């Protein structure tokens, strides 16, 4: 039997993800949205690309949740996206209500699912979904680190004129201005980044990575990034459903790792068929640890705003 992936929110990120999952041809896809008929239209359109591209994934759209029953993975992208000048944190009040309601509906029908949160502010929304669902921590996670790392790798590869495949990098922390791109532990074909790029230039690349989402929001004028975000979620889904056990940075619930407790923050984890199977503990310098702590503090502040 094929796996079942539900994507709640059939907007830019959700519909693009639906397309990407369908094209993988190992899972059926359900797209859910509150806009009448829209998810059905997008689902049918994706389904009708199957004969051309050669996939048999079943893709359906829905305005309710009955069709989502028995999902293996549920990705939550529903919510409002950023407009120019807005931070991810400005979205919190509206998106808190949406993510709460969506999680309740999902849990009723897919009690064994993995939840992947994409809605911003990411770490806070992942924590909200964890709290509302009552799921074990292994089955609730947020997508941010893969995207932030992809941006970092893109800029490094461009700077050095090498393949993105040769660039290994990690970005830790919350998905916001305080994220921590780890230049010291990033490598190109095994060579540490600080040996390849001068400190000042590296600092500019790190800053561009931190501002990567805003750079796209400003160019698009309406809406926020969705091609790279949906690709990043797809990689997480691949690792879980194919039990690849890839190590990638994801927002996960920490209980003492990295000196942080009771909070969702982005750190490297092993993703497999049981979800977050392990938190990988990197040895951080004093400065990196302090930056991660600062990032965790800003996530904690948002949790306080939500009152959970
Ligand atoms: N239930 C289901 N869908 C909902 C609900 C709800 N309660 N509320 C809103 N939606 C839908 C909207 O109708 C819309 O189609 O969520 C969709 C969001 O899509 P977009 O506005 O295109 O936003 P997108 O770019 O996909 O971003 C979604 O991901 O990256 C984050 O910050 C971003 O929080 C945002 C989320």
**CATH number, residue 219:** 3.90.110.10
- Are residue 15 and residue 64 in the same domain, yes or no? yes
Q: State which residues form the domain around 115.
A: 3-142
- Structure confidence at residue 37 (pLDDT): 98
Same domain flag for 127 and 12: yes
Q: In the chain, how many domains are there?
A: 2
Q: Are residues 136 and 16 in the same domain?
A: yes
- Sign of the alpha-carbon torsion through 243, 258, 118, 185: negative
Q: Is the CB of 230 under 6 A from ligand 1?
A: no
Residues 198 and 249 in one domain: yes
| Atom nearest to 101 CA in ligand 1 | 7
Residues 138 and 156 in one domain: no
Predicted confidence pLDDT, tens digits, the chain (308 residues) = 799 999 999 999 999 999 999 999 999 999 999 999 999 999 999 999 999 999 999 999 999 999 999 999 999 999 987 778 877 778 898 999 999 999 999 999 999 999 999 999 999 999 999 999 999 999 999 999 999 999 999 999 999 999 999 999 989 998 888 899 999 999 999 999 999 999 999 999 999 999 999 999 999 998 899 999 999 999 999 999 999 999 999 999 999 999 999 999 999 999 999 999 999 999 999 999 999 999 999 999 999 989 88
Using a 10 angstrom Cβ sphere, with 0-12 exposed, 13-18 middle and 19 or more buried, the burial of residue 79 is buried
Verify that 204 and 134 share a domain, yes or no: no
175 as an active site residue: the answer is yes
pLDDT value at residue 128:
98
Together in a domain, 250 and 185: yes
Same domain assignment for residues 119 and 162: no
Which residues are CB-neighbours of 301 under 8 A, at least 6 positions away? none
pLDDT at 89: 77
Whether residue 35 is found in the same domain as residue 120 = yes
Residue 300, ligand 1, Cβ within 6 A: no
Q: Which residue has the tokens 């669902």?
A: 133
Beta bridge partners of 116: 75, 141
Domain boundary among 116, 142, 168: 142
**How many CA atoms, within 13 angstroms, populate the side-chain half-sphere of residue 195?**
8
Domain co-membership, 65 together with 13: yes
Residues 6+ apart with CB under 8 A from 64: 32
Residue nearest to atom 5 of ligand 1 (CA): 78
CA of 162 to the centre of ligand 1 (A): 35
Q: Domain boundary at 118, 142, 166, which?
A: 142
Catalytic: which of 82, 139, 153, 175? Answer: 175
Kindly report the CATH number assigned to the domain that includes residue 90.
3.40.50.720
8 A C-beta contact, residue 21 and residue 73: no
- Distance from Cα 158 to the centre of ligand 1, integer Å: 31
Which ligand 1 atom is the nearest neighbour of the CA of 32?
A: 2
For ligand 1, atom 20: residue with the closest CA: 11
Residue 200: C-alpha distances to residues 83, 168, 196, 207 (Å) = 31, 20, 12, 11
**From the CB of 143, is ligand 1 less than 6 Å away?**
no
Question: How many whole angstroms from its chain centre is CA 154?
Answer: 17
Which of 80, 107, 142 terminates a domain? The answer is 142
Looking at the structure, tell me whether residues 286 and 253 fall in a common domain: yes
Within this chain, do residues 245 and 119 fall inside the same structural domain, yes or no? no
- Of the candidates 145, 168, 147, the one whose C-alpha atom is nearest the C-alpha of residue 156 is 168
Is ligand 1 within 6 A of the CB of residue 19? no
* Ligand 1 pocket residue status of 232, Cβ below 6 Å: no
For residue 78, which atom of ligand 1 is closest to its CA? 16
């Amino acid at each position: 039997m094929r796996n079942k992936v539900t994507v709640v929110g059939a907007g830019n990120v959700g519909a693009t993800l639906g397309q990407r999952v369908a094209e993988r041809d190992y899972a059926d896809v359900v797209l859910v949205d509150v806009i009448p008929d829209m998810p059905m239209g997008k689902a049918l359109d994706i389904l009708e690309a199957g004969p051309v591209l050669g996939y048999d994934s079943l893709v359906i759209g829905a305005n309710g949740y009955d069709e989502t029953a028995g999902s293996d993975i549920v990705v939550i992208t529903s919510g409002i996206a950023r407009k120019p000048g807005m931070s991810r944190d400005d979205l919190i009040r509206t998106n808190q209500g949406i993510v709460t309601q969506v999680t309740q509906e999902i849990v009723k029908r897919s009690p064994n699912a993995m939840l992947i949160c994409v809605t911003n502010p990411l770490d806070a929304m992942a924590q909200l979904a964890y709290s509302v669902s009552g799921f074990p921590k292994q089955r609730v996670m947020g997508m941010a680190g893969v995207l932030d790392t992809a941006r970092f790798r893109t800029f490094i590869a461009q700077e050095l004129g090498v393949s993105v495949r040769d660039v290994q990098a990690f970005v830790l922390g919350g998905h916001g201005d305080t994220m921590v791109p780890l230049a010291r532990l990033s490598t190109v074909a095994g060579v540490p980044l600080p040996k390849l790029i001068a400190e000042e230039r590296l600092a500019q690349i790190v800053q561009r990575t931190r501002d990567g989402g805003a750079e796209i929001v400003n160019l698009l004028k309406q809406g926020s990034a969705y091609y790279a975000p949906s690709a990043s979620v797809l990689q997480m889904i691949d690792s879980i459903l194919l039990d690849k056990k890839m190590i990638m940075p994801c927002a996960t619930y920490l209980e003492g790792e990295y000196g942080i407790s009771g909070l969702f923050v982005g750190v490297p984890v092993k993703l497999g068929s049981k979800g977050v199977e392990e938190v990988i503990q990197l040895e951080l310098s004093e400065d990196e640890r302090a930056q991660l702590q600062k990032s965790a503090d800003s996530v904690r502040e948002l949790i306080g705003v939500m009152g959970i």
